[in-house]
Chains A and B, each alone.
Chain A
């Protein structure tokens, strides 16, 4: 059974597009047929994060206005079998499509794909309404910052108003060393406010910047901890319930054991 998942946040700059790209890659690597859709019309970026910007001929607005067929606009990612991108238009704006048209588009995509991942634009205006129109459920991305969590909380209400089931949360840019120093909210602190299930936590790491520079999502990198975080989240998205939490603690090995033994260890709550 195929479904459409919208990746949203309210606040801009928390990592929606990076999350969409990496979940798309990770789900495709799990053998799913995935379409990632850039719903940020006028400010497309998903193509750049995926490194597929050179291959765009047609976009989402072309499809909706009937200038091309859906299949012509879908860009196949040669690095991951089953992964396709539907890019946003760059020179139009969000008024170029209506929620009705988005719903139809998603229906059409669901005939061919297991998962349709919708990258929602920031904000709560028409762009958001378009992106959630065809969705079956929502994933909310936040960071351990007051402003991002506040906006996530507001978005939960809007997702529920759109009659979607309870959304799930991804905590992005988590820095275990800062949590340990008492300078960042930990998992429990964050989950007190948006009281929704946690899909996983993604560590803040320079791998993300390098992967964005190169246009190669970090989910492809088997060595990367960030990649592993996204791969585990993808497994949870598919319904796997026994995916172990990823250890994000700042120090590992004998030093951590020693500190714990000495009684200096932080609580065991910094895993995602």
Chain B
């Protein structure tokens, strides 16, 4: 409730909420032994490969780990602008 009120008045979220979010994030990354930094590096490599074939919106692409019921999933959303010219991809 307090968080809702804070949100309404545009106040920063409570430090407890910060703690909870950070903890969830850490646990999920510990589970797969992949740091957020490594995930970021992986994302940029994947985008490099995809960009050979299609033009993507890099700024709006994301790759993240999510905790499902009994496993951790790697989910990704990469908006495509258009297919890159064949000639360019052949090299």
Q: Residues of A with Cβ closer than 8 Å to B?
A: 48, 53-57, 90-91, 209-210, 212-215
Q: Residues of B with Cβ closer than 8 Å to A?
A: 15-16, 18-19, 22, 25-26, 30, 33, 35-38, 40-41
Picked from B15, B22, B37, the residue with its CB within 8 Å of the CB of A57 is: B37
Asked if A56 contacts B33 (CB within 8 A), the reply is: no
Picked from A56, A209, A214, the residue with its CB within 8 Å of the CB of B37 is: A56
Chain A residues with CB below 8 A from B15, complex form:
209-210, 213-214
A contact face: mostly helix, strand, loop, or mixed: helix
Asked if B19 contacts A57 (CB within 8 A), the reply is: no
Shortest distance from the beta carbon of A212 to any chain B beta carbon, whole Å:
8
Given contacts A90-B30, A91-B33, contact A215 B41 (CB under 8 A): no
Shortest distance from the beta carbon of A57 to any chain B beta carbon, whole Å:
3
12 inter-chain pairs at a CB distance below 8 angstroms, sorted by A residue, are A55-B37, A56-B37, A56-B38, A57-B38, A57-B41, A90-B30, A210-B15, A213-B16, A213-B18, A213-B22, A214-B15, A214-B18
Asked if A56 contacts B36 (CB within 8 A), the reply is: yes
Given contacts A48-B26, A90-B30, contact A54 B36 (CB under 8 A): yes
Chain A residues with CB below 8 A from B18, complex form:
213-215
Asked if A57 contacts B33 (CB within 8 A), the reply is: no
Shortest distance from the beta carbon of B20 to any chain A beta carbon, whole Å:
9
